[in-house]
Amino acid sequence: MSEGQEEVELVQIRGTKSGLAIQLDDQAEWDKVTERLKRILDDQPTNHSTVSASLVMGKRYVTDRETGRLCAWLKNQYNLDIHDVDKEVITLEEANAMIEEQTFHQEIRMVRSGQVLDVKGHVLLIGDVNPGGLIRATGNIYILGYLRGIAHAGASGNEEAVVCAAFMEPRQIRIATSIYRSPDDEPEEDLDAVNEKKEPVDTEPDQGTLECAFLNEDRQMTIERIQKLPKHRVKVDMAFQYANG
């Protein structure tokens, strides 16, 4: 392959439905890649309007700072608005954080009034959450007992998280930034702006009927018996397998 052909391979630009996809060689020296990108863009007609684009880095690791500088340069010099950066590698810290988010924790205790149980990942609580108690997790929450206090699943923003309890009598249930308040609950100032639905399905559950709170397709809080929800039943079965394993 000639030197000219090698340079062409360093950067490939193609059109997509969402704009341009700029693929950068992940084996060559970074300075050579960025220099080739500059020459290609300099040869193009000037963009007077902003063009949406994505960067495809492949297996090259580029720091957030370097990525930010590259995106700012493309925006300022060529009116390219980078809406996505696709990388196949992550740092050890990012990998550990992802593992932590998927970790299952089992707690055998009572969460009493004034107490807070904070968990990174999913949590299976064998016990009760009393009025005034708070259980909060970045993942799903499963309670083999009474939920009479507050449960906050998906605390880091995961709207797919669920809250399940054998006895569902919550003061509040939160999933990501959405909230369901019991009719007896007093509003809190810091929750005025979040989405809420004050009357979810089945507000008077049968005693001992496992129920699941989740956000439906309209992003509204809903509570249903777990038997009616095959999608979420799988999550609960996995939690019970963990508890028994």
DSSP assignments along 186-237, one per residue: PP-GGGTTS-B-SS-S-SSPPTT--EEEEE-TTS-EEEEEGGG-HHHHHHHH
List pLDDT tens digits, range 92-112: 776 676 677 778 899 999 999
Does 167 map to a domain? yes
Residues 66 and 122 in one domain: no
Two tokens, residue 234: 């799988």
Is the same domain home to 61 and 172?
A: no
Same domain, 144 and 221: yes
| Domain identity same for 216 and 133 | yes
What's the total number of domains in the chain? Answer: 2
| 53-67 residue pLDDT tens | 999 988 888 888 888
Select from 55, 86, 117 the last residue of a domain.
86
Give me the sign of the Cα torsion angle 87, 92, 94, 98. positive
* Domain annotation covers residue 107: yes
Q: Which residue has the tokens 């930034």?
A: 177
User: What's the residue count for the chain?
Assistant: 245
Q: Count how many Cα atoms sit within 13 Å of the Cα of residue 90 in the half-sphere of its side chain.
A: 8
35 and 74 share one domain: yes
Q: What confidence score (pLDDT) does residue 49 get?
A: 86
Q: Judge if 106 and 32 occupy the same domain.
A: no
Do 132 and 24 sit in the same domain of this protein? no
Is 242 within a domain? no
Q: Is 166 a member of any domain?
A: yes
- Residue % of the chain over a pLDDT of 90: 48
HEC secondary structure over 204-218: CCCCCCCEEEEECCC
DSSP secondary structure string, 92-151? Answer: HHHHHHHHHHT-EEEEES-B-TT-EEEESSEEEEES-B-TT-EEEESS-EEEEEEE-SEE
For residues 129 and 62, state if they share a domain: no
158 pLDDT more than 50: yes
pLDDT tens digit string along 188-240?
444 333 334 334 444 444 455 789 999 988 888 889 887 766 555 455 556 65
Mean per-residue pLDDT for 106-119?
A: 96
Task: Tell whether 56 and 133 lie within a shared domain.
Answer: no
Residue 71 CA to residue 79 CA, distance in Å, equals 10
Q: What is the dihedral of CA 150, 129, 133, 107, to 10 degrees?
A: -110
Q: Is residue 16 part of a domain?
A: yes
Mean pLDDT for the chain?
81
45: in domain: yes
Residues 11-22 have pLDDT tens digits of 999 998 888 999
CA distance 202 to 170: 13
Q: Could you tell me the residue range of the domain that residue 218 belongs to?
A: 99-184+207-228
CB 201 within 8 A of CB 224: yes
Q: Domain with 28 in it: what CATH number?
A: 3.30.750
63 lies in some domain: yes
Q: What angle do CA 16, 21, 27 make, to 5 degrees?
A: 145
Are both 66 and 117 inside the same structural domain? no
CATH of the domain at 104: 2.160.20.70
Alpha carbon distance 103, 25 (integer Å): 35
Q: pLDDT at position 241, please?
A: 56
Q: Is residue 77 part of a domain?
A: yes
Within this chain, do residues 219 and 157 fall inside the same structural domain, yes or no? yes
Together in a domain, 81 and 106 = no
What would you measure as the largest C-alpha separation in the chain, in angstroms? 76
Q: Please choose, from the candidates 213, 207, 61, the residue with its C-alpha nearest in 3D space to the C-alpha of residue 135.
A: 213
